[in-house]
Amino acid sequence: MQSAFERIYAVVRQIPCGKVATYGMVAQLAGNPRWARVVGYALHANPAPGVIPCHRVVNREGRLAPAFAFGGEDRQRELLAAEGVQFGADGCVLLSEYLWNGLKEGETP
């Protein structure tokens, strides 16, 4: 079934380790820049936890949704921290350093 979900999952799955992407970015890479809400909905459905790194998807602030599927925002912090992602004092990811450029590993320009 090729719904928007599949497309979004495909993009989220391509996020390299130690990097994070925003909803809007995933939406854009998925094909439509207005799927930000759909991305959130898709991740909320979270049909394949472990396969889809939902914790690597954050909002434009570098912060995750108030209701994380795996157990809470604290869980997300550990998951990202385990991948080498650091956080600010506010608990938001340093997008300036860890925001996914949209390219896969080894495709640096």
| Interacting residue ranges for DNA, rule: CB under 7 A | 3-5, 22-24, 32, 34-46, 54, 57, 59-61, 64-69
Instruction: Tell me if 7 sits within 8 A of 87, measured CB to CB.
Output: no
> Which residues does 72 contact at the CB level (< 8 Å), separation at least 6?
none
Cβ closer to DNA: 3 or 86? 3
92 a catalytic residue: no
**Closest separation between CB of residue 105 and DNA, Å?**
23
Catalytic residue among 30, 42, 54, 79: 54
- Is residue 7 a contact partner of residue 31, using CB atoms and an 8 Å limit? yes
106 Cα distance to chain centroid: 20
Q: Which is nearer to DNA, 71 or 84 (CB)?
A: 71
3-state secondary structure of 37: helix
Q: 29 or 39, CB closer to DNA?
A: 39
Residue 99 CB coordination number (10 Å): 17
Which residues are tagged catalytic?
Answer: 54
